[in-house]
Chains A and B, each alone.
Chain A
């Protein structure tokens, strides 16, 4: 008994060491963000720096706020649009009879698997020709295209769990479609809606390729802006760490809070 308890304690210790090693880059980044610049990139590393908020001030002096606002509006806007389109579609696919459920689902998911390479050149040229480059509305619309399939699949998996009897009863009560969706079904799947929304928000917030290519200044979101902190002329690690910390905090916190729902969203609803 004691030997097995000892072994258990040992495995727990190993687990913690491995977990902390994995988390270390994030912890070190946040720690570095609170250092003065001259103590950030040193050899050997500075473990007892003069802690300061100065670098966060520097981040906002470089005008990070508009970039965060761009990220926020593209992420929130696209998420709301995605949910508005995905919930009715998933409802039709899982509760109302549609003839080609499989075909429709296959279509949605195949658009998610299709690399951006498939569409980026015409999208860029079309936006260029209509003056849509560096425009946050267009970026938001493109994020809808990226996230719609995930949301449809996730919502389908949540809706499939609504008891058939509940809906049939509502229909026999003469409930109209709107009532059926808003009063009967939506309250049951609300946690699912939140999970789908969260995943879409995270993907949009973190997206780099389209953000980098299709924006320049006015509509530039946070991810491409971060790269501008790398400065060939001097030390930049502390200010870069501060900017990166600000950039990751919203979705890391949201993800921590909703981690139970996260797994289902990441697996496109394939797993409960």
Chain B
């Protein structure tokens, strides 16, 4: 803390000439030394395996026939594209991700607005609401499947019965819906937390001025709050999309890819670790990465736009 106290007198005047060239180079060397361990770890753990995946994807290689390994060119990609599984998996991925993101965003917005109001027990309500995102996804999938959505003893059908509706065979007839339900349940709190932060960052004076000017609550929300929330919605949607594109747990646990729920990550798992088709599965992996890159590049651009506003390059 002494540093803080002495700072006003001993601080280098702003705009003073930077340290000499050698001093600057020395500082850069130190910075690199600080950065390097993390960079190297990331490269070794993620980039090198990815390069190997690309290499494998150009090989004909089934683990059941280890002697038969050889260069295959683009054969694996041709068979991936010819095989209907890729396209239908891509469709399933888009459907699962898209529906869960849209539903979580709408519900997350609703809960953020409701929990931004002052009311009795708001803190407790917020705490209860974030819980689904903290619950282990494997536990969530198991409990939803067997405790909530079971056709005979599940609570969902009991609830339907209370209001006079017939029971639904969720797990067997609506596998896609069960996956989307669980994912929406888990990601609504995520979106809510981000939007709640956005609502709290809102300029209260502007809202008061609007109220003084006689703008109704709905109009204030539509014309002031929503535009302000836009960047928060963007961040939430993009981060949720990226996490949901990779989703695996509920599919492995609840449906095992049946009923149109075989997403790209599950398909790859099946081909590689059940079918033992290394080359072909690697090609699926590369294709999955390409799909993700399309989404991620949009996401990154938005994130950086937000950061430039708050001065990332200072």
Contact = CB atoms under 8 A, between A and B. Distances in A.
A120 interface: yes
A80 interface: no
Contact of A119 (B53, B242, B313): B53
Interface in A143-187: 144-145, 148-149, 152, 160, 165-166, 168-170, 172-173, 175, 177, 184
Contacts of B143: 25, 28-29, 240-241, 244
Given A22-B185, A23-B128, A251-B134, A168 B12 contact: yes
Nearest to B273: A213
Contacts of A267: 194, 197, 235-236, 239
Decide if the interface of chain A is mainly helix, strand, loop or mixed.
helix
A202 interface: yes
Nearest to B286: A118
Task: Kindly name the residue among B49, B235, B246 whose own CB sees the greatest number of chain A CB atoms within 10 A.
Answer: B49
A73 interface: no
B285 A208 contact: no
Contacts of A114: 46, 50, 289, 292, 296
Interface in B179-235: 185, 188, 190, 193-194, 196-198, 201, 232, 235
Given A175-B3, A241-B143, A120 B136 contact: no
A189 interface: no
Given A22-B129, A42-B153, A271 B198 contact: yes
A20 B133 CA distance: 15
Interface string A3-47: 000001001101110111011111011001000000001111100
A194 interface: no
A125 interface: yes
A58 interface: no
B261 interface: no
Nearest to B140: A25
Contacts of A122: 48-49, 52-53, 56
A102 B300 CA distance: 11
B188 A173 contact: no
A270 B272 contact: no
A69 interface: no
Interface residues of B, number: 112
Contacts of A148: 38, 41-42, 45
B130 A259 contact: yes
A111 B47 contact: yes
Interface string A73-97: 0000000000001101101110011
A270 B28 contact: no
Contacts of B41: 85, 144-145, 148
B272 A166 contact: no
Nearest to B196: A263
Contacts of A120: 49, 268, 272, 285
B46 A113 contact: no
Nearest to A145: B45
B103 interface: no
B285 A117 contact: yes
Interface string A104-117: 11111111011111
Interface string B128-164: 1111111111111011101110101101001001000
Decide if the interface of chain B is mainly helix, strand, loop or mixed.
helix
B169 to A, nearest CB: 14
B224 to A, nearest CB: 19
Contacts of A190: none
A64 interface: no
Contacts of B115: 15, 19
Contacts of A92: 30-32, 34-35
B194 A263 contact: yes
B288 interface: yes
B7 interface: yes
Contacts of A29: 139, 143, 147
B109 interface: no
Task: Kindly name the residue among A22, A101, A170, A229 whose own CB sees the greatest number of chain B CB atoms within 10 A.
Answer: A22
A249 to B, nearest CB: 10
B242 A113 contact: yes
B86 interface: no
B168 to A, nearest CB: 14
Q: Enumerate the 10 nearest inter-chain pairs by beta-carbon distance, A residue then B residue, closest first.
A: A145-B45, A119-B49, A169-B7, A89-B38, A122-B52, A244-B139, A92-B34, A223-B138, A88-B34, A255-B134
18 contacts: A18-B114, A25-B148, A28-B147, A41-B153, A88-B38, A114-B296, A115-B245, A120-B285, A165-B11, A208-B137, A208-B248, A223-B137, A237-B146, A251-B136, A256-B134, A263-B193, A263-B196, A267-B239
Given A92-B34, A117-B284, A256-B131, 20 more contacts: A19-B128, A22-B111, A23-B129, A85-B41, A96-B30, A98-B28, A113-B299, A115-B246, A116-B246, A117-B268, A120-B268, A121-B53, A166-B4, A175-B3, A184-B3, A209-B265, A248-B139, A252-B134, A263-B194, A266-B239
